Amino acid sequence: MSAASLLTPTGYRESFSGFTPEKAPSGLQWFHGLRQKAYERFRSLGFPTRNMEPWKYVPLGSVLEGAFAPPRKVSPEKIEAAELERYFFSSPDENRLVFVNGTFCRELSSVSGLPKGVVYQPLSQALASSPESVRPYLGFSLADETNPFAVINAFCFRDGVFLFVPDETPVSSVFHVLWAGAGEESPIVFYPRILVVAGTRACARVVVTHAALPGADFFRSAVSEVYAGSGSKLEYLERGHGGQTKALSFAVTRFYLKEESALNRFLFGEGGVLNRNETSVEFGGENASAFFKGFEVLKGRSQSFTHAGVCHRVPHCVSRQFYKGVLGGESKSEFNSLVAVDKGAFGSDSNQLSRHLLLSDSAEGYARPQLRIDTDDVSCIHGAAVGKLEKDELFYLRSRGLSKEEARWVLTCAFAEEALEGLEPVEFRERLRGWVRGELKGMIRC
Amino acid sequence: MLVIRDLHAGIDGKEILKGFDVEVKAGEVHAVMGPNGSGKSTLAKVLAGDEHFQVTKGEVLFRGNNLLEMEPEDRALMGVFLAFQYPVEIPGVNNASFLRMAYNARRKAAGKEEADPLEFDDILKEKLKLVEMDEDFVNRSVNQGFSGGEKKRNEILQMAVLDPTLAILDETDSGLDIDALRVVARGINRLIRPDNAIVLITHYQRILGYITPHFVHILADGRIIRSGGKDLAVELEKKGYEKIREETGA
C-alpha cells in the first residue's frame, strides 16, 4: 500500500498497517533513505494515546478513526481569489508561495527581486534543481523526534517550501507561505512541510498562513524545521485560520538556534475543529534568544492545544513565552509548556506566561507552564491565569455610560491588544487586528 | 433632583446603610462626612449601581425616576456620575478613546450627534485645561501606572467631559497632597453650575476649605445623625466624630 491510497473505510490509523512509504518523487537516494528512516521511527513510536501526557486532552479519535483521501490537484481557477486575498497584506514586498491542498499553485504565487543567493521555492523544485543545498538540513530534527505525526509527515509529504538565506544577507521583504485547504468530495489529508535556513548574520521575516477555505474538510499535519545560523535574526509569524470548517490541524515546528541568533515568533489561531500546535526550541549556542507570543480566538466547539518545549542546553540564552486566548462557546484550549535548563546552562533566563479569558461558562482553559532546572544561577519565571472579565473593570466602564456589551467588547479587545501590539509588519498586524475585533464583536453579542 | 428615603443597603448580607435620607436640589453641593465604616462608599456605590451591593429597603429617586431599578449605564446616561475612590486601572484601553466612547454614549442617549475623533480632540483639549492636566495623560491606558493624584484628576477629567447632572465624588480628596488637592478642587469648582448638583463624600474637612458646601451631613453607622450648613464641618473638625455622636445620642 502506498501513501497515495490512504483512504480506507477503516480510518487513518488502519491505513498505516502493512504500509510502506512510496519512493521519493525526486528519485534521490539520500532522500529516500530519510523517508525510510522516518518510517522506521514511526514503527517504533506508534500512534499516541491519551494516556500520554502531551496528548491527554486531545480528541485523537477524530484523526485516528477519520477516513481521509489523498488530495486531488485543485485547479487554481476554482479557488476564489478573494478567499485567498484576505490572507495577504497587499504589500509589494510580499513574496508569496501558495499551496492548495498541499499542491503548489504557480498561478497564485509571486516571487521577485530576491537578493543574490536567496532561495525561496517549493521543496520539490529545490530537490530537483539543487538537492545538495537541501540535504544538510532537511529532517535535521528527525533523530530526536518524538511526535509520531511529525515523523509521518517526513515520509508522507509531497511538497513544501525551502527558504535559504545565505550568510550576511538581510532580506527586508516578507516571505509569505500560504497553505490553503479547500473542500473536496470527501475529507482529505495533506502534509505541509517547511524548511527555513538562515545563514550567519542573515535576517529574514517569514509569515506562514494556514487557511481553511469555506467547505474545507481535511486533516493537515504540518512540520516546519527552522535553522537559525550564528547571529541571525529571524521573525516567524504563523496564522491558523480554521473558520467554521471541519479542519483538523496538527503542526510541529522545530527551531534550532545557533549562538547569538534571535528568534521572534508569533502564533495566531482561530476556528476549525481541532488544532494542535507543538513547538520546540533548542539552543545550539550561547547568547541566543527566542521570543514567543501567541494569541487565539476560539468559539463554538473549537479545540486548541498549544505545546511548547524550550531546552536551555547552553549558558546565557533567553526565552520568553507569552500566550493569550479568548475562549467563547464550548471551546477548549490548553497551553502546555516545559522549559528545561540543563546542567551547566548557567545564566539562562526564561519566562512563561499564559492567560485565557473565558467569555462563556462552558469554555475551558487549561494552563500548565512547567520548569525543569538542573543548574544554579538562572532566572526562570512562570505564571498562568484562566478567568473571566474583571467585574470591577466592567462596572467602571458601565458607570461611564457604556452598555454591558460595549464594556465587555472594550475589555476583550484590550485583552487582545496586549498580544497584538508591536507586531510587524504593520499590514499584518492591522489585518489581524481588524479580523480579531470583528470576531470578538460577534462573540460578545452571543 | 435626588431624593433618598430610608435607604438600607449592604454587602454579602451585612447591612451597612441603615435608613439613609437626603434631598439634593439643583445648584446644591452636599458634603457627606463620616468615619471609616459609616457607609459613605456604600452610598456612592449603591447610587452608581454596583451590583456587589444589595439594597434591602428604601427608594432613590433621581429626577423622578427610580434609580435603583436602572442599570449602571442608564444611570450614567441620565446624568449620574461617580468619581471612584479607587479608580480602576484598565490596561490596553486608551484613555482618549474611552473618554470619546463615554462622551458619545451620552450624546447618543441625549439624541445628539456623536463627535468624530477630531471634534472630540478639541473638546478634550478644553477639558484638560479645566483640570490642569497634560495632554500626555489621555494617550495612556486608563489609569494604568497613574499616581494616586493622577487617578483622581482623571476622574475629574471624566466628570468634565461627561458633564453630569449629579456628581457623587467618593473621597476624591483622599491620597492627594496639598497641591494636587487644590488642582482637583479648582477643577470641581469650575464644574459647579446652577443646573447640576454635587454630593461630596469625604472623611476630612480639608477639601471643604476649597469647595464650599451648601449642606453638610454627618453619617454614622449607616444613617445621618446630623445635618447643617458649612459651619458643621468646622464644628466637626474641632469636636471629632465621637463627640458629635455623643451629642446627638446616636
Q: Is residue B250 scored above 80 in pLDDT?
A: no
Q: Which residues of A are less than 8 Å from B82 in CB distance? A: 399
- Closest CA relative to residue A370, chosen from A346, A338, A340: A338
Span A408-426, average pLDDT: 93
Give me the pLDDT at residue A26, please. 67
Distance (Å) from the C-alpha of residue B185 to the closest C-alpha of chain A? 21
Span B1-14, average pLDDT: 96
pLDDT in tens, B171-185: 999 888 898 899 889
Residue B23 confidence class, pLDDT cut points 50, 70, 90: very high
Does residue A340 lie within any of the structural domains?
no
Give me the pLDDT at residue A5, please. 46
Cβ atoms of A310 and A284 closer than 8 Å: no
Residue B17 burial (10 A CB sphere; 0-12, 13-18, 19+): buried
Give me the pLDDT at residue A313, please. 95
Q: Which residues of B are less than 8 Å from A400 in CB distance? A: 76, 98, 102, 105, 158, 162
Domain boundary among the residues A250, A269, A285 is at A285
Distance (Å) from the C-alpha of residue B248 to the closest C-alpha of chain A? 36
Give me the pLDDT at residue A183, please. 87
Among left, alpha and beta (phi > 0; psi -120 to 50; other), residue A287 is left
- Choose among A391, A399, A404: nearest Cβ to B48: A399
Give me the pLDDT at residue A2, please. 45
Residue B51, domain extent: 2-248
- Choose among B73, B93, B109: nearest Cβ to A398: B73
pLDDT in tens, B97-142: 999 999 999 999 999 999 999 999 999 999 999 888 888 889 999 9
* ipTM score for this prediction: 0.96
A424 touches chain B (CB under 8 A): no
- Domain CATH code at residue B167: 3.40.50.300
Q: Residue A398 and residue B76: Cβ atoms within 8 Å?
A: yes
Span A337-366, average pLDDT: 96
Among left, alpha and beta (phi > 0; psi -120 to 50; other), residue B19 is left
Q: What is the C-alpha separation between B100 and B88, in angstroms, rounded?
A: 18
Q: Residue A395 and residue B51: Cβ atoms within 8 Å?
A: yes
- Closest CA relative to residue A220, chosen from A142, A156, A292: A156
Residue A86 confidence class, pLDDT cut points 50, 70, 90: confident
pLDDT in tens, B34-92: 998 899 999 999 999 999 999 999 999 999 999 999 999 999 999 999 999 999 999 98
Q: Is residue A405 scored above 70 in pLDDT?
A: yes
Q: What is the C-alpha separation between A185 and A74, in angstroms, rounded?
A: 12
- Closest CA relative to residue A278, chosen from A335, A321, A329, A320: A335
Q: Is residue A6 scored above 70 in pLDDT?
A: no
Q: Residue A396 and residue B90: Cβ atoms within 8 Å?
A: yes
Q: Give me the number of domains chain A comprises.
A: 2
Question: Coil, strand or helix: which one is B142?
Answer: strand
Q: Which residues of A are less than 8 Å from B91 in CB distance? A: 414, 418
Question: Is residue A369 reached through a cis peptide bond, with omega within 30 degrees of 0 on the bond before it?
Answer: no
Give me the pLDDT at residue A446, please. 55
Q: Give me the number of domains chain B comprises.
A: 1
- Closest CA relative to residue B59, chosen from B16, B1, B5, B22: B5
Q: What is the DSSP letter of A108?
A: G
H/E segment holding residue B247: helix B241-248
Q: For the ranges A62-76, A425-439, B162-176, which has the lowest average pLDDT?
A: A62-76
Q: Residue B92 and residue A414: Cβ atoms within 8 Å?
A: yes
* HSE-CB of A366 using CA atoms within 13 angstroms: 17
Q: Residue B92 and residue A402: Cβ atoms within 8 Å?
A: no
A396 touches chain B (CB under 8 A): yes
Q: What is the C-alpha separation between A112 and A94, in angstroms, rounded?
A: 9
Q: Where are the beta strands (DSSP E) in A258-328?
A: 262-270, 274-283, 289-298, 303-312, 318-327
Q: What is the C-alpha separation between B166 and B161, in angstroms, rounded?
A: 14
Q: Residue A410 and residue B84: Cβ atoms within 8 Å?
A: no
In Å, what is the CA distance from A307 to each residue of A25, A153, A234, A279, A370?
32, 18, 21, 6, 11
Span B190-211, average pLDDT: 92
Q: What is the C-alpha separation between A161 and B64, in angstroms, rounded?
A: 71
Domain boundary among the residues A233, A268, A285 is at A285
pLDDT in tens, A269-281: 999 999 999 999 9
Residue A112, domain extent: 3-285
Mutation to test the A interface, candidates B93, B106, B141, most A Cβ within 10 Å:
B93
Q: What is the C-alpha separation between A408 and B14, in angstroms, rounded?
A: 29
Mark out chain B residues that contact chain A at CB-CB < 8 A.
Answer: 48-52, 71-73, 75-77, 81-82, 84, 87-88, 90-93, 98, 101-102, 105-106, 109, 141, 158, 162
Span A315-344, average pLDDT: 97
Q: What percent of chain A has pLDDT over 90?
A: 83
Q: Is residue A24 scored above 70 in pLDDT?
A: no
What residues contact A443, with CB distance under 8 A and at least 6 apart? A297, A299, A326, A328, A329, A359, A412
> How high does pLDDT run on average in chain A?
93
Residue A150 confidence class, pLDDT cut points 50, 70, 90: very high
Q: What is the C-alpha separation between A381 and B112, in angstroms, rounded?
A: 51
Q: What is the C-alpha separation between B30 and B53, in angstroms, rounded?
A: 23
pLDDT in tens, A7-20: 445 689 999 987 77
- Closest CA relative to residue A121, chosen from A107, A104, A138: A104
Residue in A with minimal Cα distance to B162: A400
Distance (Å) from the C-alpha of residue A335 to the closest C-alpha of chain B? 23
- Closest CA relative to residue B198, chosen from B155, B234, B235: B155
A397 touches chain B (CB under 8 A): yes
Rg, chain B, Cα only = 18
Q: Residue A399 and residue B91: Cβ atoms within 8 Å?
A: no
Q: Which residues of B are less than 8 Å from A396 in CB distance? A: 84, 87-88, 90
Give me the pLDDT at residue A3, please. 46
Residues 404-423 of A with CB under 8 A from B: 404, 406-407, 410-411, 413-415, 417-418
Domain boundary among the residues A285, A307, A337 is at A285
Q: Residue A402 and residue B50: Cβ atoms within 8 Å?
A: no
Residue A305 burial (10 A CB sphere; 0-12, 13-18, 19+): buried
Angle, vertex CA B104, rays to CA B103 and CA B106, nearest 5: 70
Span A384-403, average pLDDT: 96
